[in-house]
Amino acid sequence: MPVVRQLKQSKAREEVLRRIQNGDYRPGERLPPERVLARDLGMSHIALRKGLMELVDAGVIVRRPRVGAFVQQTRPLELSTRLAIVVPDYMGSGHPFLPLLMGGVLSGLDQRSHEISIFTYKAGTQFWNDAGEKMLARGIHGAIIFTSYIIPLDELRKLERSGIKAVLLNVSAACPRSMISTITIDMSLSMREALQRLVDLGHRRIAWMSYEITPFREYEDQLADEFSSRYGLGEPSDLIHRLGCEARDYDQWEVILRGDNRPTAMMLQDEFMAHEVYRVCHQLGLRVPEDLSLVAFADALPRSYIVPLSAPDTVSSWNAAAQRAAEHLQYLLETGEDRTLETTLHASIQWKASTGPAPVECPSSS
């Protein structure tokens, strides 16, 4: 996909530039042949060639036909502004949301003017120790930070004092407020919309599947209390099921979906849960939505489901938010101003064929 190719050629450019800046390749020196260099860097010849072309365009190296590529005799000390994308640790290796986030960021930047690195941080630890100090040591000028783990206010203030310009991408309005520019994707309206729609369709046995670590927890509990009381959905603790593990815990879905008292509707945190629920439904002979209605609050892949999944347009929402964040960060760096941006985008659910009326209960025989 295009974003993945962009990431690979950016990696090639960054690594060759790092070697030049470290003195591994000196001014006037010929670079190793492309195929040798690609093998050394563990990437394809095509990705390396595109990365080298960016360095040619920037005046860092020069190509001589049938001879090779050479480091310029007089080269710039720094090719570009150093930027960071900071994400939770679960997104650090192969998570499908990362290319989506990168795609939005790259569409909002002049890629030839910026060198982008990725940093991670863990839930429940000190953000500054995990990512802030490393960004400072790398000479990062600006950062876009995805806060699906809530970052404490005192950690954000350390970032403010560091001199690193930053824009936060929030998934919850509950994240502490600071003087750092913030773009929030507000999911609270879609959660309320989903619960109300299912209730209006006659569902009373609803299972709301969420994670133990989530920035939405407080709002989820409030909504569960409100709807349980108003519509007789049982105890709020029976409505919300929290996963302390990955969505691919096969046994848990079978336990929930077996038996006569199984839910008639499920609200799911993301597309990973949806994938597993569809799989177990197929195994158990349950039909969507005749036997079970499904709605998810994220579908960033998006997957091809047997029945199209009701979910917000996560791709468009996050692409727009990431692009806006990149454009504002570029403005902060170019002007040196401290203008704080506060923007909230609302992700509305696109209702599809996975959601329908509650099944009619057969009367028990006397």
The answer to whether residue 299 scores a pLDDT higher than 60 is: yes
Domain ranges of the chain: 2-71, 81-187+316-348, 188-311
pLDDT (mean) for 93-105: 81
What per-residue confidence (pLDDT) applies to 174? 57
pLDDT digits (tens, 9 = 90+) for 243-256: 876 667 667 888 89
Polymer length of the chain: 366
The answer to whether residue 365 scores a pLDDT higher than 50 is: no
pLDDT digits (tens, 9 = 90+) for 114-141: 788 899 999 877 899 999 999 988 878 8
What per-residue confidence (pLDDT) applies to 13? 79
| Domain at 81-187+316-348, CATH homologous superfamily | Response regulator (3.40.50.2300)
* Better pLDDT: 289 or 77: 289
Question: What secondary structure, in 3-state letters, does 104-160 show?
Answer: HHHHCCCHHHEEEEEEEECCCCCHHHHHHHHHHHCCCCEEEEEECCCCCHHHHHHHH
> CB under 8 Å to 242, separation ≥6 — which residues?
210, 211, 212
- The pLDDT confidence band at residue 362, using thresholds 50, 70 and 90, is low
What is d(CA 78, CA 13) in angstroms, rounded to the nearest whole number? 13
DSSP string, 225-258: HHHHHHHT---HHHHEEEESS-TT-HHHHHHHHS
The answer to whether residue 168 scores a pLDDT higher than 80 is: yes
To the nearest 10°, report the CA torsion of 156, 159, 164, 165: 20
What per-residue confidence (pLDDT) applies to 353? 96
Share of the chain above pLDDT 90, in %: 34
What per-residue confidence (pLDDT) applies to 268? 95
Give the pair of three-digit tokens for residue 24. 């591994």
pLDDT (mean) for 170-181: 74
198-202, 277-281, 318-322: least confidently modelled range: 318-322
What per-residue confidence (pLDDT) applies to 53? 85
Q: Exposed, middle or buried, 34 (CB in 10 Å: 0-12/13-18/19+)?
A: middle
Mean residue pLDDT of the chain comes to: 85
Q: What are phi and psi of 327, to 5 degrees?
A: -65, -40
The answer to whether residue 366 scores a pLDDT higher than 50 is: no
What per-residue confidence (pLDDT) applies to 5? 53
* Better pLDDT: 341 or 226: 226
1-10, 232-241, 330-339: least confidently modelled range: 1-10
pLDDT digits (tens, 9 = 90+) for 19-78: 887 778 888 889 998 888 888 888 888 888 888 887 887 778 888 888 888 888 654 444
Which of 62, 344, 351 minimizes the C-alpha distance to 184?
A: 344
What per-residue confidence (pLDDT) applies to 127? 92
Fold of 188-311: Rossmann fold (3.40.50)
- The pLDDT confidence band at residue 259, using thresholds 50, 70 and 90, is confident
What per-residue confidence (pLDDT) applies to 363? 54
Fold of 2-71: Arc Repressor Mutant, subunit A (1.10.10)
The answer to whether residue 350 scores a pLDDT higher than 90 is: yes
Q: Do domains 81-187+316-348 and 188-311 have the same CATH topology?
A: yes
